[in-house]
Structure formats: structure tokens, C-alpha cells
């Protein structure tokens, strides 16, 4: 697709040049010197413009640099352009960068620029783009045209390079101080003097005085210095955030986006408190990622959850219960299931979790009855009086 508007020129239009050549022959035949010179000048102008554009498109290049490709809605992205003209003559250059939100019906937005590039020189140009919606965006491929300074003729410059932009969900203030939520999560702490030898977290240099049984001999041989295993605390909250997209039809897009904002904020808050958080969803994901992310902690886990939330599409893919089984949820893990309303499929899912001795809390985004299911409304997790500050 080309975003440039083309205005036919009498100097470069093929049919017009055929007519000019025919009139030139007639003028020469009838020995009309003045008309012949005029028609010849018009023909030569068209030929020169075509040659100029052809050589210019071969000698022109543009490089793009993005300062950020992972942002939150409302953050500004700076796109720097470095245009180089290796041709000795000036060129009229037009650039257009399509920005396409994947899995959306919105038409691509175009960032455009048109400028004169002197011969043998380079120019720097900058665009700014502010994404307002969560999602996965394609930046490019860049559409470029170069031609003569009078804009009689331009030739496209092909560039197939694309860049991926991820826009995370907004972080909103969340609160766990309300009784049903506080009772479900219990003590939100990962600090304990007792370490669990089963829950290995990472490997580090051996510290003098630590038990020798914690030494990792394989890692020590590989790094040529003593390494020891680092274990997590025995008392540690493990939470699996699960999103069931089956009930979110197209007309519930705004409600669906609000759920993603709460999941992003809740996971960031829990991990900042030192807890392990996992994520599972039966949504389709852009980029071919799997919808199951096992529980872990740390900044890297926050980024992985945010990236999956950015890639989510409001379309179901796969069986929700099967994905929960793939999440390797151990007994004692707390599971928060986000859905729209209580239905029979949800009751079967909760029964499955109960058989596996997994405590479950359902968060409903619609104002509907719970029908005996332990559930809260999404608004009970929101706390507009608090500032967003995680980690």
C-alpha cells in the first residue's frame, strides 16, 4: 500500500508524452520551428525528470532510529530519521511511516514528511508518535519516494524493514485492603528466616561461612570460582492470575481493556512486594507467544507479564481448563480468575481448581450475580485515591 497522493504530470505521463511526440513529428513535417522547439523541450523535460528520479532513488537512503519500543499509553516515542543523498544533484524526498495496530479494525496511521535534500548531503528529521491504546503495533515498512526538485517525477524506494512496538496496559491504583480480598491473599510477605531447599531462586558467588551443601559444583566448574544456590523463603505467596476471554465479545472491548489494566497493576504490585506471580490466558497472542507464564518473581517477570498483556487479542484460543493444567500450579497457590459473568463453564473450572487444592477467587467485570461462587466485582480492586507506585 502506498500512502502518497500522485498527481499526473504532463511531463512524465506516458500517454501525454506519446501525444507530444506525435505533435513534434507533425510540427517538423510542416516545418513549424517554434512549435517544434517547444514540444522538444517538453519531451526532454519529461525524459530528464525520469532519469533524475531513477538515479536519485538509487542514490538515496534513509535510516530510522526509535528511542523506545516498549511504552505505556500516552508516552511519547521519538523517531529519528537520517536521510542521505549520495547523488550530486538535489532531490525532493517524501517519507511515510505506517503505524498499524495489529488485530484491530482501525486504519493505519501515517507519519509523513516531505523535504528537499541537497546533493551530496544528509538531513536529520524527527517524528513523534503518542500511542493511546494498548496493543501490538507494526512500525513500517517505510514508504519513500525520491525525485527531481520540481516534483515532476518520483520513484519509490523499497524498504521491507518493520519494527514492533508494544504498548502495555495502563497501571491503575489497586487496593487489597477490603476484607474479602485481604482474607483471600492473607499475609503478603516473602520474608522468612527459613529457606526452602526446594525453591531455588538463583546462583551467586559463594559467601564464606554459608553451608557447603548449598555449593553448586557444576556452576563452580563452569565459572572457575565457587558458586552457591540461593533459595526462596518458605513462607511466600504464589499467585496465578488467570483471564478467561470467552465471554468478552467485540462490544465489550472497553471492559476487556479495563480488566487488563487491573491485571497489569495487580501483578506489578504483588511482585514488588516480593511474591511470585504467574499468568495464564486463553486469548490469542500476537507474536506466537504461549498464553501460559509460570509463577516467578523479579523485574523480568513483570516485563514478561506486561508483554503478554500487550500482545493479547480479544479472541479466544484453546481450552481454558487445559491451559490452567499446563501452568503447573502447585497446591497452596492462590488463583485469581478474571471473567465477565458466572456461567457453567466457570463453575467447572473452579471445581477443577478445588480438586487440586488451589484456592480461587473470581473477579467479575460485569455487575451480575455470583450464584454462590466466591467472587468480587472488578471495581472492588480499584482504589482511585492512591497513587500508582510499584517497585
- Sorted by sequence, the CB contacts under 8 Å of residue 306 that are 6+ apart come out as 168, 169, 264, 268
Residue 31 has what pLDDT?
83
pLDDT of residue 296 exceeding 70, the answer is yes
- Sorted by sequence, the CB contacts under 8 Å of residue 372 that are 6+ apart come out as none
**Cis bond leading into 337, ω under 30°?**
no
Q: From CA 157, how far away is CA 388, in angstroms rounded? A: 46
123 compared with 193, residue with greater pLDDT? 123
Confidence of residue 388 (pLDDT cuts 50, 70, 90): low
DSSP string covering 145-190 = EEE-TT-S-EEEE-----EEEEEPPPP--B---SHHHHHHH-----
Q: Which of 142, 177, 168 is nearest to 71 (CA)?
A: 168
Contact by Cβ (8 Å): 285, 312: yes
Angle 140-109-4 (CA atoms, 0-180°, nearest 5)? Answer: 75
pLDDT of residue 28 exceeding 50, the answer is yes
- The radius of gyration computed from the CA coordinates of the chain, to the nearest angstrom, equals 31
Confidence of residue 190 (pLDDT cuts 50, 70, 90): very low
Q: Determine how β-strand 227-233 pairs with β-strand 312-316.
A: unpaired
Torsion of CA 194, 195, 196, 200, to 10 degrees: 170
Segment among 9-13, 119-123, 161-165, 228-232 with least mean pLDDT: 9-13
Confidence of residue 314 (pLDDT cuts 50, 70, 90): very high
**Cα 253 to Cα 257, 310, 365, 391, distances in angstroms:** 6, 14, 12, 29
User: Mind listing the pLDDT tens digit for each residue in 4-26?
Assistant: 555 556 555 667 778 778 888 88
Contact by Cβ (8 Å): 136, 166: yes
In the structure grid, which three cell numbers stand for residue 75, read together? 508516552
Q: How many CB atoms lie within 10 A of CB 123?
A: 15
Residue 386 has what pLDDT?
56
- Sorted by sequence, the CB contacts under 8 Å of residue 76 that are 6+ apart come out as 128, 129, 130
Residue 391 has what pLDDT?
47
Segment among 185-189, 224-228, 361-365 with least mean pLDDT: 185-189
**Mean pLDDT of all residues in the chain?**
84
Please name each of the domains of the chain with its CATH number.
Answer: 1-167 (2.60.40.10), 179-190+236-381 (3.40.50.410)
Strand, coil or helix: 3: coil
Segment among 103-112, 237-246, 341-350, 379-388 with least mean pLDDT: 379-388
For cell 511504552, what's the residue? 71
Strand, coil or helix: 265: helix
Residue 293 has what pLDDT?
93
Q: Which of 350, 348, 281, 347 is nearest to 320 (CA)?
A: 281
Residue 118 has what pLDDT?
92
Strand, coil or helix: 111: strand
Q: How many CB atoms lie within 10 A of CB 225?
A: 10
Amino acid at each position: 500500500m502506498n500512502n502518497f497522493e500522485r498527481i499526473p504530470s504532463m511531463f512524465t505521463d506516458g500517454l501525454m508524452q506519446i501525444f507530444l511526440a506525435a505533435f513534434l513529428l507533425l510540427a517538423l513535417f510542416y516545418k513549424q520551428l517554434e512549435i517544434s522547439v517547444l514540444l522538444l523541450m517538453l519531451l526532454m523535460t519529461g525524459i530528464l525528470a525520469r532519469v533524475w528520479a531513477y538515479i536519485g532513488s538509487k542514490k538515496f537512503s534513509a535510516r530510522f532510529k526509535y528511542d523506545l519500543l516498549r511504552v505505556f499509553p500516552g508516552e511519547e516515542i521519538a523517531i529519528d530519521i537520517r536521510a542521505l543523498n549520495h547523488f550530486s544533484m538535489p532531490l525532493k524526498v517524501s517519507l511515510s511511516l505506517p503505524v498499524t495496530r495489529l488485530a484491530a479494525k482501525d486504519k493505519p496511521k501515517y507519519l509523513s514528511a516531505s523535504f528537499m535534500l541537497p546533493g551530496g548531503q544528509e538531513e536529520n528529521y524527527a517524528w513523534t508518535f503518542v500511542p493511546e491504546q494498548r496493543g501490538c503495533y507494526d512500525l513500517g515498512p517505510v514508504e519513500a519516494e525520491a525525485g527531481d526538485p520540481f516534483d515532476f517525477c518520483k520513484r519509490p524506494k523499497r524498504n521491507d524493514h518493520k519494527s514492533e512496538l508494544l504498548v502495555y496496559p495502563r497501571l491503575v491504583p489497586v487496593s487489597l485492603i477490603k476484607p474479602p480480598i485481604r482474607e483471600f491473599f492473607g499475609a503478603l510477605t516473602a520474608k522468612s528466616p527459613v529457606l526452602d531447599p526446594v525453591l531455588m531462586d538463583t546462583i551467586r558467588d559463594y559467601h564464606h561461612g554459608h553451608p557447603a551443601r548449598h555449593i553448586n559444583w557444576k556452576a563452580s566448574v563452569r565459572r572457575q570460582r565457587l558458586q552457591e544456590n540461593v533459595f526462596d523463603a518458605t513462607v511466600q505467596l504464589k499467585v496465578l492470575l488467570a483471564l478467561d476471554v470467552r465471554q468478552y465479545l467485540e462490544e465489550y472491548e472497553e471492559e476487556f481493556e479495563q480488566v487488563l489494566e487491573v491485571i497489569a497493576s495487580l501483578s506489578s504490585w504483588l511482585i514488588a512486594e516480593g511474591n511470585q506471580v504467574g499468568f495464564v490466558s486463553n486469548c490469542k497472542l500476537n507474536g506466537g507467544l504461549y498464553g501460559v507464564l509460570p509463577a516467578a518473581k523479579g523485574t523480568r517477570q513483570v516485563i514478561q507479564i506486561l508483554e503478554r498483556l500487550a500482545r493479547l487479542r480479544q479472541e479466544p484460543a484453546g481450552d481454558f481448563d487445559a491451559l490452567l493444567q499446563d501452568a503447573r500450579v502447585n497446591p497452596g497457590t492462590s488463583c485469581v480468575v478474571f471473567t465477565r459473568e458466572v456461567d457453567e463453564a466457570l463453575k467447572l473450572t473452579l471445581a477443577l481448581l478445588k480438586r487440586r487444592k488451589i484456592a480461587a477467587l473470581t473477579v467479575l467485570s460485569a455487575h451480575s450475580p455470583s450464584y454462590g461462587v466466591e467472587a468480587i466485582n472488578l471495581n472492588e480492586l480499584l482504589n482511585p485515591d492512591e497513587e500508582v507506585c510499584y517497585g
